[in-house]
Amino acid sequence: MSNHLYDALLAPHAASERPCLHLIDGSTRTYSDMIELAACLASVLAAHGAEVGDRVVVQVDKSPEALALVFACLHAGLVLVPLNTAYTPAEVSYFVGDAMPAVLVSDPSRSNALVEIANGVGADLLTLGGDGSGSLMTEAAAAGDDHPVAEREAGDLAAILYTSGTTGRSKGAMLSHENLLSNTRSLAEVWRFSERDVLLHALPIFHTHGLFVAVNVTLLSGGSMIFLPGFDADMVIRELPRATAIMGVPTFYTRLLARAEFDEELAGHMRLFVSGSAPLLAETHREFFDRTGHHILERYGMTETCMIASNPYKGERRPGTVGFALPGVELRIGEPATGKPVATGEIGVVELTGPNVFGGYWQMPEKTAEEFRDDGFFITGDLGQIDADGYLHIVGRGKDLIISGGFNVYPKEVETAIDDMDGIVESAVIGVPHPDFGEAVVAVVVPEPGAEIGEASIVATLGDSLARFKQPKRVLFTDELPRNTMGKVQKNILRDEHAGILEARQ
Ligand code: AMP
């Protein structure tokens, strides 16, 4: 019996009494604790009708039990579909309808809002709170730990991770066992992880960064994680002395730099600081070095491809760049229209192939076909250039994606919600620089003449339908949006015009 990813990440540690997680209350969870709990959870999922290949949608707070549930899906050969905890029940309803899971696991406080949504697709609803409360753990306590590890091959699906869609429809990126394992192996090697590493884990576990990069690299190398419920600068500063490495979004680093006690004495012993998921300002990189003596290692990736490129472990970590293609990844910069490689130093769209590239979007073969070239290269939609020394620079996002605090916001989804309101002609949603979140959402709205509509009422209405991170920090009014001759709204003009609006408020 073999299970491609389980055999590499979990099976070697099944009897290990070494710590897997260090928790903030001072307790630890050993590898064998976690793997045994996962086996019990696998029995519970099976008892609720989940069979090999079925989806399990999970929207729960980060906790050791939530991580054991991730392991349980792997154990039982189920396809994990983790969701951002900020999604509203209306948003969860879309994902459940699309993924058609056998089981939905939610926070106990959400069960009333979600039970009909689950039942509507024939799924069972189980609950799990951040403190381990809820039906999942109650049932696990009575379940056996002898559920067989499912047979899974390299190409079998391990997870579906939803990305936001430019048209407002999210797409489920299908990731196989080998997509995840090949990427984990590359990262563990390139970043030199070993069983001596203690990773400070402050990222969410519903996104590829915290879930697959941070967790899988640690498991493969047999290290351990200080498992924080979320990012909190006080907690990070307190826990840093026992960590060897941290993986974060740029916001982590700007927040740490805002604290006077974050200095060389506190950070000097660390082996590695990794940044990704959004651009790290070259200025932050330099300030971090001046303060701590460490060069942050910036890497680049996306949900569909896992990690693509990384600055070197040894050698120059060049500020404002994301380094070189990872082992096994073939990268090129193509002309956006044709994919034809551009000359060195020219800007084009970043494209790649490799064992890390996903198999396509769940039940969207046409959308999938649009994102691949005929020769199999995946079109990331990011604009980049490779400098004379081979370092990749990400210069912009062709898709107008806004990344706020490490989370993706597609303007179209917010615009549609605003345009649906009474008294609005149209809107344009842009990202503007924000000192804490990197970027923040700002809406520029054209009201109908004489309409009684204000910033507060728009923000309040969006509060019911959109996750908080997607809600505009400011709503501005104008008589007309700037457009080019093709009738397209020129968002670059709006971005330039409003670039300082949130910085000035801090
Ligand atoms: P996600 O699918 O949520 O991981 O978002 C992927 C997108 O984040 C990429 O397509 C890039 O636009 C952006 N991204 C990730 N890492 C970086 C980075 N180091 N620098 C610039 N953009 C990045």
Burial letters 128-161, b for 16+ CB under 10 A, else e: bbbeeebbbbebbeebeeebebbebeeebbbbbb
With tokens 């003009």, the residue in question is 493
> What is the dotted CATH code of the domain comprising 4-15+27-152?
3.40.50.980
Is the CB of 311 within 6 Å of ligand 1?
A: no
Instruction: List pLDDT tens digits, range 33-45.
Output: 999 999 999 999 9
Q: What is the mean pLDDT of residues 490-496?
A: 89
Q: Which of 321, 394, 408, 470 to mutate to test the pocket of ligand 1 (most atoms within 8 A of CB)?
A: 394
Q: What separation in Å is there between the alpha carbon of 261 and the centre of ligand 1?
A: 30
Q: What is the mean pLDDT of residues 197-214?
A: 96
Is the CB of 277 within 6 Å of ligand 1?
A: yes
Q: What separation in Å is there between the alpha carbon of 302 and the centre of ligand 1?
A: 5
Q: What angle do CA 302, 305, 310 make, to 5 degrees?
A: 70
CB 393 within 8 A of CB 382: no
Instruction: List pLDDT tens digits, range 222-280.
Output: 999 999 999 999 999 999 999 999 999 988 998 999 999 999 999 999 999 999 988 78
286: Cα within 13 Å, side-chain hemisphere = 5
Q: What separation in Å is there between the alpha carbon of 276 and the centre of ligand 1?
A: 7
Q: How far apart are CA 29 and CA 71, in angstroms?
A: 14
Which sign does the torsion angle of CA 263, 250, 489, 476 carry?
negative
Tokens for 448, please give them.
């109908």
Instruction: List pLDDT tens digits, range 71-99.
Output: 999 999 999 999 999 899 999 999 999 99
Phi/psi at 411 (5° precision): -50, -35
Q: What is the mean pLDDT of residues 339-357?
A: 93
Is the CB of 410 within 6 Å of ligand 1?
A: no
Instruction: List pLDDT tens digits, range 422-474.
Output: 999 889 999 999 988 989 999 999 999 999 999 999 999 999 889 999 999 99
Q: Which of 300, 326, 351 to mutate to test the pocket of ligand 1 (most atoms within 8 A of CB)?
A: 300
Helices and strands (DSSP H and E) totals, the chain: 17, 24
Q: What is the mean pLDDT of the chain?
A: 93
Q: Closest residue (by CA) to atom 6 of ligand 1?
A: 302
pTM: 0.85
In percent, how much of the chain has pLDDT > 70? 97
Q: Closest residue (by CA) to atom 15 of ligand 1?
A: 277
Instruction: Give alpha helix (H) positions in 143-242.
Output: 177-190, 208, 217-221, 233-239
Is the CB of 394 within 6 Å of ligand 1?
A: yes
120: Cα within 13 Å, side-chain hemisphere = 13
3-class SS of residue 419: helix
Is the CB of 77 within 6 Å of ligand 1?
A: no
Order of strands across the sheet with 392-397? 330-334, 348-353, 378-386, 392-397
CB 292 within 8 A of CB 269: no
Q: What separation in Å is there between the alpha carbon of 379 and the centre of ligand 1?
A: 13
Q: What separation in Å is there between the alpha carbon of 141 and the centre of ligand 1?
A: 40
Residues with Cβ within 8 Å of residue 97, at least 6 apart in sequence: 120, 121
Q: What separation in Å is there between the alpha carbon of 81 and the centre of ligand 1?
A: 20
Instruction: List pLDDT tens digits, range 100-154.
Output: 999 999 999 999 999 999 999 999 999 999 999 999 999 999 999 999 999 999 9
Q: What separation in Å is there between the alpha carbon of 299 and the centre of ligand 1?
A: 9
In the chain, how long is the greatest CA-to-CA distance?
71
Q: What separation in Å is there between the alpha carbon of 277 and the centre of ligand 1?
A: 4
Tokens for 109, please give them.
């406080």
Domains 4-15+27-152 and 189-397 alike in fold: yes
Is the CB of 208 within 6 Å of ligand 1?
A: yes
CA distances, 448 to each of 424, 427, 443 (Å): 5, 11, 16
Is the CB of 384 within 6 Å of ligand 1?
A: no
Is the CB of 276 within 6 Å of ligand 1?
A: yes
Q: Which fold has domain 401-505?
A: GMP Synthetase; Chain A, domain 3 (3.30.300)
Output the pLDDT for position 487. 47
Which is nearest to 64 in space by CA: 97, 47, 41, 87? Answer: 41
196 alpha-carbon distance from chain centroid: 26
Give the bridge partners for 125, in sequence order: 104
Is the CB of 385 within 6 Å of ligand 1?
A: no
> What is the dotted CATH code of the domain comprising 189-397?
3.40.50.12780
**Domain extent listing, the chain:** 4-15+27-152, 189-397, 401-505
